[in-house]
Amino acid sequence: MPSISQKARHMPSSPIRKLVPYAEAAKKKGVHVHHLNIGQPDIKTPKNALIAVQQASIDVLSYSRTEGSDAFREKIAKYYQRLNLTVSASDIVVTTGGSEALSFALGALLDPDDELIIPEPFYANYSGFAEGHNVKIVPVTCTFETQFALPSVEEFERRITKRTKAILICNPSNPTGYVYRKDELEQLAEIALKHDLFLISDEVYREFVYDETKHFSMLSFEALNEHVVVIDSVSKRYSMCGARIGFAVTKNSALRGAILKFAQARLSPPTYAQIASEAALDTDESYFAEVLKEYNARRNFLVEALRQIPGVETAIPKGAFYCMVKLPVKSAEDFAQWLLEHFSLNNETVMVAPAAGFYSTKGLGEDEVRIAYVLEIDALKRAVHILEKGLEAYLA
């Protein structure tokens, strides 16, 4: 029998989705599962985006341009200009989700066995993208004790070798909710310029920041124009995960041309999704004010409620909608599976994401989980109560 590739064998399973079979089995038994494991917002998609698709007059659903329609890219550029970022339509390549933008960027920037420095914990699929391109991840560990702040310049420079090509950050961070300060980004800029590295900045959660925290984009550093590519998406911003529309933004023409070659191989991003996404960019700012107010209330409740559970520690997220949580268990993965297989309260249980899969360094995050506060507060209250009672039963 022919065998699959080494690459496929080494491709990591998603820590977010690997417990899905246990959740599905619980549901078949009639147990309601509160999903705290995945960043699928329950916020309604802007109506104007859905109406735009319904009213689209299309006789032939044809390919769009590989880089995305002119009208859509012009609208994206205006969105960045409202953020005081100098971006033109020609700087943008539209992709099938932010994930494709990141995969294309890695393919365009790194050769097999090149090294990519990433602060950990990081979005678990970064490992899959790196494996797919035969790229080696070199982690720089951020700690629970510092609320996952960026390590020092020295920590980064210790990891730079002749094979290092780029640094990848997520800002605000998935899974920690950390928002990088301007001085931390200046630190990264200094490293990139000194060592002639690329900086890949995943900014898909840009709108979701709390406590008067300000988000700074890597696009705001003009000295880095040839070094930076920003990964962006409509998925979280407009609660349009199913649209699968993202974009890569860079002023480096050689890099943009390379990304476009990868994009040409998949022909074009989906037409209807571009129509919806273009309309979404006209969404009134009041939409974000209400969404941010809702997520802030959820965050405040979640952090306070978790801190009332004996043995539980939480980081305080400043952005996105994720919270890293330390549990009084040896294996958070075992506990998460046990919740789905063996525990329910009034025929309900919870699903969390074990955090070890967000680390590249073996042994880290074994007692941590990531909780996504994407449920309305009443459901979140119920879920935290179930988690507390589940812990009591598991530790008994």
151 domain-assigned:
yes
129 domain-assigned:
yes
Work out the number of other CB atoms within 10 angstroms of the CB of residue 115: 18
Checking DSSP bridges between strand 32-35 and strand 348-351, what pairing results, if any?
parallel
Domain boundary among 264, 280, 296: 280
Do 95 and 62 reside in the same domain of the chain?
Answer: yes
Instruction: Compute the average pLDDT of residues 249-253.
Output: 98
Burial readout 321-336 (b: 16 or more C-beta within 10 A, e: otherwise) = bbbbbbbebeebbebb
Q: How many domains does one find in the chain?
A: 2
pLDDT score at 268: 95
Give the whole-number percent of the chain exceeding pLDDT 90: 93
Q: CB–CB of 271/64 below 8 Å?
A: yes
Do 79 and 176 reside in the same domain of the chain?
Answer: yes
- Comparing CA positions, the residue from 69, 108, 109 lying closest to residue 92 is 69
Do 135 and 227 reside in the same domain of the chain?
Answer: yes
Do 141 and 255 reside in the same domain of the chain?
Answer: yes
Do 367 and 305 reside in the same domain of the chain?
Answer: yes
Split at pLDDT 50, 70, 90, the class of 395 is very high
Q: Is 125 helix (H, G, I), strand (E, B) or coil?
A: helix
Residue 156 has pLDDT above 80, yes or no: yes
Range of the domain at 216: 47-280
**Backbone CA torsion sign across 182, 210, 358, 392:** positive
Q: pTM, whole model, 2 decimals?
A: 0.95
176 domain-assigned:
yes
Domain boundary among 237, 261, 280: 280
Do 257 and 141 reside in the same domain of the chain?
Answer: yes
Split at pLDDT 50, 70, 90, the class of 1 is confident
Do 37 and 86 reside in the same domain of the chain?
Answer: no
99 domain-assigned:
yes
pLDDT score at 245: 97
pLDDT score at 5: 87
Instruction: Compute the average pLDDT of residues 135-142.
Output: 97
- For tokens 């989705």, name the residue: 17
Do 35 and 103 reside in the same domain of the chain?
Answer: no
Q: Is 150 helix (H, G, I), strand (E, B) or coil?
A: coil
Structure token pair of residue 200: 């890949």
Domain containing 240 — which CATH number?
3.40.640.10
Q: Give tens-digit pLDDT for 181-212.
A: 999 999 999 999 999 999 999 999 999 999 99
Q: Give tens-digit pLDDT for 254-306.
A: 999 999 999 999 999 999 999 999 999 999 989 999 999 999 999 999 999 99
Q: Give tens-digit pLDDT for 307-361.
A: 999 999 999 999 999 999 999 999 999 999 999 999 999 999 999 999 999 999 9
Do 111 and 246 reside in the same domain of the chain?
Answer: yes
Domain containing 328 — which CATH number?
3.90.1150.10
Mean pLDDT estimate for the chain: 95
1 domain-assigned:
no
Do 62 and 210 reside in the same domain of the chain?
Answer: yes
126 domain-assigned:
yes
Q: Is 131 helix (H, G, I), strand (E, B) or coil?
A: helix
Which amino acid appears at position 363 of this protein?
G
pLDDT score at 6: 83
**Backbone CA torsion sign across 176, 182, 183, 184:** positive
User: How far is 348 from 353, CA to CA, in rounded Å?
Assistant: 17
Domain boundary among 260, 280, 300: 280
Structure token pair of residue 176: 């920690």
357 domain-assigned:
yes
What are the angstrom distances between the C-alpha of 367 and each of 107, 180, 287? 34, 25, 37
Residue 36 has pLDDT above 90, yes or no: yes
pLDDT score at 103: 97
pLDDT score at 354: 96
Instruction: Compute the average pLDDT of residues 67-74.
Output: 97
Split at pLDDT 50, 70, 90, the class of 90 is very high
**Helices and strands in the chain, H and E counts:** 13, 13
Split at pLDDT 50, 70, 90, the class of 11 is confident
Do 134 and 26 reside in the same domain of the chain?
Answer: no
DSSP state of 45: P
Do 172 and 35 reside in the same domain of the chain?
Answer: no
157 domain-assigned:
yes
